[in-house]
């Protein structure tokens, strides 16, 4: 009996060790591209052209100075523009999607099922299909080179709504809302003070996803923004990569990509604590 238990324990330890090895290999593969990105920010354009290297170079500050000194690329302005657009889009999409999910989940009205189905249908329409009509509308409203068309439409985010609705169905009992109404709380107070704290884990996840999607968005901003002081980072990266051969500098390209990736990593690290700590489907904290 003891021999059998020892054998089972050895088997379990071997399986656990194999799982750890596989996870370490996958982690290395996932982080390897980031490592190469960091290494190439420290190498000059001629060094990068020589080929792959695992060791850092000595041109980090030189690449950074050349990038910031490039008058055709307002990098700091692009960072501020991208951060503003991404933050506004993430907050608007998350808040109003949670509000819409609250209405669909709590209220009982005649066309409730049809409204939910219509939102899901909108979710399946790619943005490229509606881009021409959207650009024409923006031009007719004199909103070209404005951040309004990049932020306000984020209020209607079907994918975020669907995630919020599914999460709300598992964590928000209707009895809790009814009890709050009996106590005299109005609807906005119920939503802001009771529902939102419960939805905090889901909102943190969607803020990250929406922020990253808006931060990396190139298609719509490239069609709307043509003034240098309004361009976002993806437009600047494409502009730098499309430079002619004499002005093309891979060191600056990698440095700009690193600057574009850094805020996304910071946002994830800042919000990941609330995700790990708070995601408990099916539980409701009083």
The residue among 166, 282, 150, 286 whose CA lies nearest residue 221 is 150
For domain 66-278, which architecture applies?
Orthogonal Bundle (1.10)
Q: What is the pLDDT of residue 2?
A: 59
Model pTM above 0.75: yes
Question: Are 76 and 143 spatial neighbours (Cβ–Cβ below 8 Å)?
Answer: no
CA dist., res. 57 & res. 65, Å (int): 15
CA dist., res. 260 & res. 74, Å (int): 13
Residue count of the chain: 286
Q: What is the pLDDT of residue 152?
A: 94
CA dist., res. 206 & res. 202, Å (int): 6
Mean pLDDT split into 10-residue runs, the chain, 286 residues: 67 82 90 89 88 86 88 88 94 94 88 87 83 90 93 91 88 87 88 89 86 91 90 88 67 89 81 59 42
Half-sphere exposure of 130 (CA within 13 A, CB side): 10
Taken in order 47, 31, 263, 269, the sign of the CA dihedral is negative
Q: What is the pLDDT of residue 245?
A: 54
Question: Are 223 and 135 spatial neighbours (Cβ–Cβ below 8 Å)?
Answer: yes
Burial of residue 274, with CB atoms counted within 10 A of its CB: 0-12 exposed, 13-18 middle, 19 or more buried: middle
For residue 70, give every residue at least 6 positions away whose Cβ sits within 8 Å of its Cβ, in sequence order, or none.
240, 252
For residue 264, give every residue at least 6 positions away whose Cβ sits within 8 Å of its Cβ, in sequence order, or none.
211, 212, 215
Q: What is the pLDDT of residue 277?
A: 54
């Amino acid at each position: 009996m003891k021999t059998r238990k020892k054998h089972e324990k050895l088997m379990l330890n071997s399986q656990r060790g194999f799982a750890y090895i596989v996870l370490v290999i996958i982690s290395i593969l996932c982080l390897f591209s980031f490592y190469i990105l960091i290494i190439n920010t420290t190498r000059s354009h001629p060094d990068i052209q020589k080929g792959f290297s695992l060791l850092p170079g000595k041109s980090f500050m030189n690449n950074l100075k050349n990038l910031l000194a490039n008058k055709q690329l307002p990098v700091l302005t692009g960072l501020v523009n991208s951060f503003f657009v991404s933050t506004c889009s993430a907050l608007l999409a998350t808040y109003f999607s949670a509000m819409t999910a609250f209405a669909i989940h709590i209220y009982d009205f005649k066309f409730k099922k049809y409204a939910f189905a219509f939102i899901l249908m909108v979710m399946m329409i790619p943005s490229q299909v509606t881009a021409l009509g959207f650009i024409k509308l923006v031009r007719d409203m004199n909103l070209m080179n404005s951040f309004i068309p990049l932020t306000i439409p984020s209020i209607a985010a079907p994918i975020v709504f669907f995630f919020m609705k599914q999460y709300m169905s598992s964590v928000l009992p209707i009895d809790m809302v009814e009890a709050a109404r009996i106590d005299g709380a109005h609807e906005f107070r119920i939503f802001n003070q009771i529902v939102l704290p419960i939805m905090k884990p889901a909102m943190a996840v969607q803020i990250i996803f929406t922020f990253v999607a808006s931060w990396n968005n190139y298609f719509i901003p490239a069609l709307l923004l043509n003034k240098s002081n309004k361009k976002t980072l993806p437009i600047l990266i494409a502009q730098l990569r499309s430079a002619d051969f004499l002005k093309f500098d891979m060191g600056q390209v990698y440095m700009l990509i690193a600057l574009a990736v850094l805020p996304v990593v910071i946002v994830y690290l800042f919000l990941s604590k609330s995700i790990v700590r708070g995601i408990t489907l099916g539980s409701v904290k009083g």
